Structure 1
Amino acid sequence: MKKILVLFAHPKYEKSTVNTALIEYIKDKENVTIHDLYEKYHDFHIDVKVEKELLQQHDIIIWHHPFYWYSCPPLLKQWIDMVLEFNWAYGPKGKALEGKICLNTITTGASKAMYCSEGTNSFTVRQFLRPFEQTANLCNMSYFPPFAVMGTHKLTEDILEQSKIKYGEAIDLLQSNLTLNDFENISFLNDIPQLNTT
């Protein structure tokens, strides 16, 4: 069974009903490590050695964060800048993450319909996530489609319940033998047929 590292970055976690529900639902799953960056590094002093060791102990890396200004909160960006070092994560000798799987789990206040060429945000979520995708590519990781819970400001209790169950199912599937071929013409991990049972 593949080991999953959830790099969770939310500066206002205690105020986020959706992220609390998602994290609480998966936190006790076997071979899943929840690594809360804001809890560990509230002073922004990242221990690069510890972070590298964590990465090497896991097969799948999930950047789990709210979609702040079409990107991630600042601590996760700092983590990427500091931990993914030249000739360790990328570059001629940078093979430490080769073959691992990487993806984003995001929450957005705006609905899915707002993220398209005709919507208020002009671009799709996948287009906004291109820097993360290219980071994964540069580090020789396979980048999977994101898991996204969107329109969080108007989420009903039923949809939230379905979302956290789907997230749990997605974690289970990631620990099996999913490959990029399973995501042909699929923009979100939520949309793969195996999860359309709830």
Structure 2
Amino acid sequence: MKVLVLAVHPNMEQSAVNKAFVEELKGEPNITVHELYKEYPDEVIDVEKEQRLLEEHDRIVFQFPLYWYSSPPLLKKWLDHVLLYGWAYGSTGKALHGKEFMVAVSAGSGEEAYQAGGSNHYSISELLRPFQATSNFIGTTYLPPYVFYQAGTAGKSELAEGAKQYREHVLKSF
């Protein structure tokens, strides 16, 4: 299985978590790590290139820090520009049908904050629902997300273990 990881962080070099996750995946022969902010610093997206990358892989992973209960802005722009009518959806838009889709997020708060009664009031599953809806709309199979909590306070050992668990999750057969 070929896996495409779209790593989306505007300051990847300063992100302990997302940088560690990217580094953990880069040694895997069947994983392509594609850093959107590095690829498109001017945010001008090469739609045909992105569509070819998606077509060449079996599993698509969106990796990003949870920003205001959503993704960084370049990922939203990428979605708007790449997942086009007639290609990704619509009566002839079946390019991604049958592929697998996964979200991997880092969250600043602990897991207890992401539940009813928690400080964020919603579960991660609820907050990621738009990505699940997108997956359904484009005909991919939505896989369980990977979530790394306490991103802002994780120590080296937690980060190393989280990166290892992330790699295993991305490669897991569901």
TM-score by length of 2: 0.97
Matched with 1:81 is 80
Q: 2: distance between equivalents of 1:51 and 1:172?
A: 21
Offset of residue 156 of structure 1:
2.2
Instruction: Within 5 Å, give how 1:103-118 maps onto structure 2.
Output: 103-118=102-117
Q: 1: distance between equivalents of 2:6 and 2:25?
A: 13
Matched with 2:128 is 129
Offset of residue 30 of structure 1:
1.1
Matched with 1:28 is 27
Q: 2: distance between equivalents of 1:104 and 1:94?
A: 22
Give the superposed CA RMSD: 0.9
Instruction: Within 5 Å, give how 1:10-25 maps onto structure 2.
Output: 10-25=9-24
Q: 2: distance between equivalents of 1:162 and 1:155?
A: 10
**Greater mean alpha carbon deviation, residues 163-172 or residues 8-17:** 163-172
Matched with 2:170 is 171
Instruction: Within 5 Å, give how 1:1-198 maps onto structure 2.
Output: 2-173=1-172, 177-178=173-174
* Alpha-carbon displacement from aligned partner over 1:111-169 (angstroms, at most 9, x marks no partner): 11101110111100110111100001000000011111111122122211211111122
Write out the 4+ residue segments of structure 1 that deviate beyond 2 Å after TM superposition.
none
Q: Which runs of 5+ in 2 are unaligned?
A: none
Letter in 2 for 1:164: A
Q: 2: distance between equivalents of 1:145 and 1:169?
A: 13
Quote the sequence identity (%). Answer: 40
* Alpha-carbon displacement from aligned partner over 1:15-49 (angstroms, at most 9, x marks no partner): 11111111101111011000010011111100100
Q: Which runs of 5+ in 1 are unaligned?
A: 179-198
TM-score by length of 1: 0.86
